[in-house]
Structure 1
Amino acid sequence: MAHSADQAPVPRRFARSGPLTGTIRVPGDKSISHRALMLSALCVGQSRISGLLEGEDVLATAAAMRAMGAQIERGADGIWTVHGVGVGGLMQPAQALDMGNSGTSTRLLMGLVASHPITAMFTGDASLSRRPMARVTDPLGEMGAEFNASPGGTLPLMVRGISPAVPISYRLPVASAQVKSAILLAALNTPGTTTVIEPVATRDHSEKMLKGFGADLTVETDADGVRHIHVTGPCDLTAQDIEVPGDPSSAAFFIVAALIVPGSDLTIENVGMNVTRTGIITVLEQMGGQIERLNARTVGGEPVADLRVRASALSGITVDPAIVPSMVDEFPVFFIAAAMASGTTVTSGLDELRVKESDRLATMARGLEAIGVDVEEREDGLVITGSGGASLRGGGPVATLLDHRIAMSFAVAGLASEQGVNVDDTAPIATSFPDFLNLLDRSTGAA
């Protein structure tokens, strides 16, 4: 199941490669995959999901929904079918729900459980068990759910749901799609109208999908640009056929690789282009990256396009902190692009990166230093002076601290390095992108 600290590490050296060429597809979007399983499990009837990301995080969500009564099966054709229990129909799980490394599964499922009359114990791996949960348990507690957490508000954590729960109006103190989504999911089985007030817009997959499944959801934007999201429950959800677009967070590793490896011309098909997720493309284009959107279309309410990426001379920029929520997961690989650019790249407003799978600011700063990059770590960001397109020195080993995105980012750095880059553990990559290493070898001609 989930990769954990007690599994043997799988080190690997990533060496300089030829150009990335041809056409690839990245796995299904992780955020949408989680939500597709959860919402399908709350419908009456059968939903079908194609393109589901089959990484460990999403499989943890599937296992949890099965434990609470949904029937979930994967067909030989790769299409998943879900027979749901209906809103209000979640059953008491017989044992603890093991979330592995998945913060999204944990926080969203706490929202689901909070408004059902069941009790669930959430456990996770060493990395997940360090991550803060109070940001979710505080608002859900206002709705009437009870929580017994480990010291510091972390996993293992027991949730006692309540039905009927109490509708609340909650202003997000920190931009977080997970907190917003947890409250909206709790609202599905709560009589009355629950409101989430979102001062800074975050990814809106939950709102789009809840509407698609038939929830009574409205969004208003006030004069100050603040979003007010209302759900009136209890809701009946209608089973759907869902096609999951490719994950822009996974595509980001190949976008950066193609930009920094000379001679590359790579097409990445079927990438989700939801504007709340494409900040990485915006900033790479600001740096001079050639990224062409082809065949733009809408799939299941989500915008999708094929991306043609060509090797480009990048220039350092100062990243506007306002764009952070739309690329929060892509900063590790963005820092690799910055390391190859001309001049200095300055980032700020990245406090959230300190509470991800690892402290991503500190972990990336140490790793960049280990491969010869000029980097300054500040309280809320990194300042990177790039190589001007010259190959990175390389070396290592880089410590990934069980963080899948750190491992993939330094794999990309190795492709544009003199000595190659030694990554201490590639096993965590399976949490979000099981086929990453094969796809990387194939697109660089190493396979």
Structure 2
Amino acid sequence: MPHAPASPLLASRPAGPLTGRLRVPGDKSISHRALMFGALAVGETAITGLLEGEDVLRTAAAMRLLGAEVTQLAPGEWRVSGRGVGGLTEPADVLDMGNSGTAARLLCGLLAGHPLFAVMTGDASLRKRPMKRVTDPLSATGAVFRTREGGRLPLAVQGAADPLPLDYVLPVASAQVKSACLLAGLCAPGVTRVVEREPTRDHTENMLRHFGASVSIEDTAEGRVILLTGRPELVAAPVHVPGDPSSAAFPIAAALLVPGSRVVVENVGLNPLRTGLFATLREMGARLTIENERVEGGEPVGDLVAEHGPLRAVDVPPRRAPSMIDEYPVLAVLAGFAEGETRMRGLQELRVKESDRLAATAAMLAANGVAARIEGDDLVVQGQGGATSGGPVPGGGTVETHMDHRLAMSALVMGLGTRAPVAVDDAAFIDTSFPGFAALMNRLAGGEALRAP
């Protein structure tokens, strides 16, 4: 799956409000895990609502190379015939994970527990991202990893023939590292113990239970302790993938910015460990409500209703970062239109995303006339909302996206509210998580608000 050539895109203020009902692509985190757990289960796992962006398609291709049967029956509808825990086979080719850090890091855990040799690589962006945060703890299973300098891809792994269970305290809040350790623990006898000081998204724990594993959670003085009993028989189970809250953030933010707008995003996953942005938006005074709340496949789901209105600055505490780590760029955009100074604290994890998202977000704002500064691990944004602030954000800049899909979408949302259009140097990578983003936003706008320059 070669990457598309650079695809510049321009966003300008639409002629009227954004209106309509829509569904965003399936949750990327759950989609990756559904394919992986389906490959480890006995029987055929039926998946509906799977995100068919490039990141997830890379995971599907990797599961095929590892011996699982992965078939697309219709758009969003997939079947996986698994090999059972410990049953994956040595791949005959390199596992190319494209742009997906989630897939690469989780796959390290999957491979560590199997007695096979594999080589993994990715695109230019992924090859810059650190993997030591997973390879270091996973080496305690008995797996052997060889990487480029700095723990970067390409990576070779010789999985453990007799993997040992892990007892690991996460040094930073990371659902990817936690999940990699739990995936490795599936193949080890005894109990794998992972401790996180700050709770992170728990899709892995939910899905382990859904497929029949024994997982318990204890809240202790040390932190949140996850205990997994190794070598279970995972049994195929249907997975209904809800809409991705990280993707829903973009049409919601656009509706909050564009006067007169009212947008309903249906079937969005509302896992409380993923909804820090929505809590923050309400603190900012956003007109954001939830309708039709329900539980599907063990995950809370609902419809989000966003309406335009004034926003005020907030101070976002560092403990909220794990529940909204992917949403800070678009929150920073909204902060630029709010009244007052917004401070987002504890964003060190943004430095190791698809780009250095902390620096890139500040640069995006500065290029379009918003005063922003980085203080340690905090991002501080001076908003331009309010009656005496001089009006909307100027815009008019070109944003360097650094092959980062979320940065590109955040900049394009900004352009829907600025005085002058906002350009991005490359929108091709948006398809890794949100296929059809530009077409969907144009449908809401009733015109070509997003277009080629």
Correspondence for 1:423: 424
Deviation at residue 77 of structure 1 after TM alignment: 5.3
Q: Deviations over 1:244-297 (max 9, x none)?
A: 000000001111111111101110000000000000000010000011100000
For the residues of structure 2 that align with 1:213 and 1:125, how far apart are their CA atoms?
32
Deviation at residue 44 of structure 1 after TM alignment: 1.3
For the residues of structure 2 that align with 1:242 and 1:13, how far apart are their CA atoms?
37
* Aligned residue runs from structure 1 range 69-148, under 5 A: 69-76=67-74, 78-148=76-146
For the residues of structure 1 that align with 2:235 and 2:131, how far apart are their CA atoms?
30
* Aligned residue runs from structure 1 range 23-422, under 5 A: 23-76=21-74, 78-222=76-220, 224=221, 226-388=223-385, 390-422=391-423
- Structure 1 window deviating more from structure 2 (197-206 vs 376-385): it is 376-385
Query: What secondary structure does 1:167 align onto?
Result: coil
Runs of 4+ more than 4 Å apart: none
Give the aligned residue type for 2:285. Answer: G
Give the aligned residue type for 2:177. Answer: V
Identity %: 55
Residues 51 and 76 of structure 2 are in contact (CA less than 8 Å); yes or no, is this contact kept in structure 1? Answer: no
For the residues of structure 1 that align with 2:109 and 2:434, how far apart are their CA atoms?
26
For the residues of structure 1 that align with 2:379 and 2:113, how far apart are their CA atoms?
41
Deviation at residue 76 of structure 1 after TM alignment: 2.8
For the residues of structure 1 that align with 2:362 and 2:99, how far apart are their CA atoms?
22
For the residues of structure 2 that align with 1:172 and 1:342, how far apart are their CA atoms?
37
* Aligned residue runs from structure 1 range 2-41, under 5 A: 3=3, 7-17=4-14, 18-41=16-39
Residues 163 and 190 of structure 1 are in contact (CA less than 8 Å); yes or no, is this contact kept in structure 2? Answer: no
Correspondence for 2:451: none
Deviation at residue 394 of structure 1 after TM alignment: 1.1
TM-score calculated relative to the size of structure 1: 0.98
Query: What secondary structure does 1:85 align onto?
Result: coil
Query: What secondary structure does 1:75 align onto?
Result: strand
Q: Deviations over 1:294-339 (max 9, x none)?
A: 0000000000000111001000111111101100000000000000
Give the aligned residue type for 2:195. Answer: I
Give the aligned residue type for 1:238. Answer: V
Deviation at residue 163 of structure 1 after TM alignment: 2.5
For the residues of structure 2 that align with 1:428 and 1:358, how far apart are their CA atoms?
12
Two-structure CA RMSD over aligned residues (Å): 1.0
For the residues of structure 2 that align with 1:446 and 1:160, how far apart are their CA atoms?
53
Query: What secondary structure does 2:172 align onto?
Result: coil
* Count of aligned positions: 443
Q: Deviations over 1:161-193 (max 9, x none)?
A: 012201121000110000000010011111111
Deviation at residue 225 of structure 1 after TM alignment: 7.1
